[in-house]
Structure 1
Amino acid sequence: MALFKTKTDMSVAQMQLKIPNHIAIIMDGNGRWAKRRLMPRVAGHKSAMNTVKKIATAASDLGVKVLTLYTFSTENWSRPSDEVNFLMQLPIDFFNDFVPDLIKNNIKVQVMGDIEGLPDATQISVKNAIKQTAQGTGMILNFALNYGGQIEIIEATKKLAQQVANGEILPDDIDETTFSQALQTGNLGSMAAPDLMIRTSGELRLSNFMPYQSAYSELYFTDILWPDYTAENLVEAIESFTLRDRRFGGLNDKIESEP
């Protein structure tokens, strides 16, 4: 279901909000959501996928250009095998069900993380979704799957070191731009860094999620558990973002000049 009933509704909301180009979300609290309902943890993960569909549609309606979702971290492999197996099936079920809607809404799927480290069936489903939505020119729905931020930085460093060893670049050629391009978000160009980073469930940390890219992201934490997260909650986060003064280490002359 779309967030807005008419294009007029959407236009009014957009005029009132400063829409971030790139929103990243740490979708936390699935297990606790299930536990509170005396349900197995996997029930929370299953419900979480329905929330992904709603939030992806809402973000697209609002005009967000990139939505990155922390889906499965490299640390999540340490969870019980039954839960991990269920989590590996979720992308298959999700894409089988949701790809037609993504195509309809002109949304393009991308994935960051060690995709080759996933089970074969999960890999096939992910790669098919990327291929099927490749012609989308609207929002990029970017899944961080089998992703770890520290590993990403290490791999980018190795990549640049190899280029130096091959004589392709000099050490002095490595700057913020070249390093950013070596990261898994390099293909996003100027939109690689999230403008707004949201975490649900009340936890106040980034948990190894995009540590380099989030250096100047606006952070927004909410106690709402991810399965309960709604389009209205997303708008509330964007409203908070709209009211903030992003200076990127500099000064806002107007504010600083006031008594």
Structure 2
Amino acid sequence: MSDNNYPRHVAIIMDGNGRWAKKRGLPRALGHRQGGEAVRRVVKAAENLGLECLTLYAFSSENWKREEEEISDLMGLMRRFIEANLKDMIERRVRLRIIGDYKAFAPDIVEKLEDAMEQTKHGQRTLAVALNYGAQQEIAHAARLAAEEGSIDPETISRHLYTTDLPPLDLLIRTSGEVRLSNFLLWQSAYAEMLFLDVLWPDFGEDDLRQACEIFVTRERRYGGR
């Protein structure tokens, strides 16, 4: 996109997999699987729309509280997603970045993630995936590092966030009709535009992302000014 007002960095809270499955009388695992298909669509859509960075909230630090079977399904989906999409990401020159404490996952998943990040590190566009991520923990961690430097101020804290090498967040989208941030990118969202959509994540596609970006263009960003 050539419009200077178009977002560079869009983040999405991918919500609604379980409700999508429940509406159809299907297991939650199938909802997550369809959510994985939505991820594939949206990554390609972000490229088509010229987004510089897309950040997806895939697994929060609170998700460990879910049923063991569901967590196992999510871990399996993560493994399959990396295996099925790594080659395509390399060919499309998409850089994978993981934000969060991903090393808490099983060793084979950690190995797959780190291998994928290494193989895609020269990509021109970024797909950032939040795994075992919590914004409050991220801010606390950054503040501790800032204190060690002897200067606790916004600039120093920002430099120690997981997203320090990503463009500033422009637009945050949440699907499924819920209107809350759920401990996601709290610091980065300070001046981001927000959009809460009724569509369930497995049904989200390129048209939805395009419309969200077009709504963003119509908004006036004042950053606290009048």
Q: TM-score range by the shorter chain?
A: over 0.9
Find the counterpart in structure 2 of residue 153 from structure 1: 139
Question: Cα RMSD (Å) of the superposition?
Answer: 1.3
Distance, in Å, in 1 between the alignment partners of 2:141 and 2:186 is: 14
Inter-CA distance 16–185: structure 2 relative to 1 (3 Å threshold): closer
Indicate the structure with greater helix content.
1
Q: Structure 2 unaligned runs (5+)?
A: none
Distance, in Å, in 2 between the alignment partners of 1:60 and 1:223 is: 24
Distance, in Å, in 2 between the alignment partners of 1:130 and 1:213 is: 22
Find the counterpart in structure 1 of residue 87 from structure 2: 100
Find the counterpart in structure 2 of residue 249 from structure 1: 224
Aligned residues: 226
- The residue type equivalent to 1:194 in the other structure is L
How much identity, in percent, do the aligned residues show?
43
2:88 alignment partner, SS class: helix
Find the counterpart in structure 2 of residue 11 from structure 1: none
Distance, in Å, in 2 between the alignment partners of 1:19 and 1:44 is: 31
**Residues 159 and 182, structure 1, Cα contact 8 Å, conserved in 2:** yes
**Residues 67 and 142, structure 1, Cα contact 8 Å, conserved in 2:** yes
Question: What's the offset of the Cα at 1:17?
Answer: 8.5
| Higher RCO (C-alpha 8 Å, min separation 6) | 2
Question: What's the offset of the Cα at 1:139?
Answer: 1.1
Alignment partner of 1:25 is 2:25: no
Question: What's the offset of the Cα at 1:175?
Answer: 2.6
Distance, in Å, in 1 between the alignment partners of 2:224 and 2:139 is: 23
Alignment partner of 1:117 is 2:87: no
Question: What's the offset of the Cα at 1:112?
Answer: 0.4
Distance, in Å, in 2 between the alignment partners of 1:228 and 1:19 is: 24
Find the counterpart in structure 2 of residue 83 from structure 1: 70
Question: What's the offset of the Cα at 1:16?
Answer: 6.7
> Residue by residue, what CA displacement relative to the aligned partner does 1:220-254 show, whole Å, maximum 9, x if unpaired?
11100000001000011011101000010112xxx
Find the counterpart in structure 2 of residue 181 from structure 1: 159
**Residues 17 and 242, structure 1, Cα contact 8 Å, conserved in 2:** no
Give the TM-score normalised by structure 2: 0.96
Give the TM-score normalised by structure 1: 0.84
